[in-house]
Amino acid sequence: MTWDRFGYICRQAGNDSSGASLAARLEQAQSEQACSLYGPAPKAGSWPAQLLTRLAGMTDSERAECALKTYQRLNLGRQLEAPVKFKRALAYLAYVTFVFYLVAGIYQLKVTPTFSNVLDNLGVTPPAYLSLYQTYWSLFILAISLLILLALLSALQMRRLFQFKVSAQDSLACRLLVLPSCRHAYRQMVDALQYPTLDRHAVPEHSPVLRHLQQVEDRGMDLAIEIQALTEVQMQGFLQACEKQLKALTTLVAVVVIVAVMMFLTSAYAPIFSLGEAI
């Protein structure tokens, strides 16, 4: 929705024939009440807000008008939103975390003490599974908690990328928790989006996307079409890389939780058999 609003602001500023400066036209467009119909205002520190700030601050008026016309023709609203699959995966991780701690809490606070008291009263030695769990349950819960925390933090870092935070891909947390393929595709997409606001004579040499768009402009090709195509391609690559990482994380969490449930059941049924033998 934020990119829809960004597009409307650019179109409105481009159609303003008042003769005011581009900065004034952008400010006027952003202050209109109709902007709220296109979604929430871009948050400070996000790429939509950063691009609007750069447009307003460009000293070369001709270059600024060309950049505005390019953004007017882009359709970014749908393709740059977080997909439903990603939101479902994040909700799944949160749900698994809640269920795991609920079951672990009930078992540790209710089930285990009850069985232990009954076995002590009957003079029966606690089963090995129950003793093992009672001895190492804190380490076991800690290990699973760290794994679930890692999965949740990774998903939240990817969510920050979907929110298009400036320099989000360069943060230490992102570098540690998000796969390089995700960060690379995201960086390529951001390079394509910001190219119209950059000084074409100072384009970084390390970015193939920026170099390509510079060649596109030199050849007289339609810059808006190429930026649109590049953002779509890179967004697809970004989505595929994120989905691959999320699938791996959710599968790992699911396997560990299943193993944990099996251990809960094993240690819970073992005292029942011991009671049967005692009786």
User: How many other CB atoms are there within 10 angstroms of residue 211's CB atom?
Assistant: 14
Low-confidence ranges of the chain (pLDDT < 70): 1, 77-87, 90, 115-116, 118-136, 261, 264-279
In whole angstroms, what is the distance from residue 8 CA to residue 24 CA?
Answer: 16
pLDDT of residue 68: 92
| Residue 185, H or E segment | helix 180-194
What integer pLDDT is reported at residue 107 of this predicted model?
A: 73
Output the pLDDT for position 252.
81
Compute the distance between CA of residue 64 and CA of residue 179 in angstroms, rounded to an integer.
35
**pLDDT tens, 128-162?**
666 666 666 777 778 777 887 888 788 888 888 88
> Which of 76, 68, 7 lies closest to 35 in space, CA to CA?
7
3-state class of 90 per DSSP? helix
Nearest of 271, 278, 273 to residue 133 by alpha carbon: 271
Question: What is this structure's pTM?
Answer: 0.75
Q: Are the beta carbons of 89 and 250 closer than 8 angstroms?
A: yes
Instruction: Give pLDDT, residue 119.
Output: 62
From the CB of residue 243, how many other CB atoms can be counted at a distance below 10 Å?
16
Residue 165 DSSP code: B
Q: What angle do CA 130, 135, 139 make, to 5 degrees?
A: 115
**DSSP letter string, 194-215:** HGGGS-GGG--TT-HHHHHHHH
Distance CA 218, CA 225 (A): 15
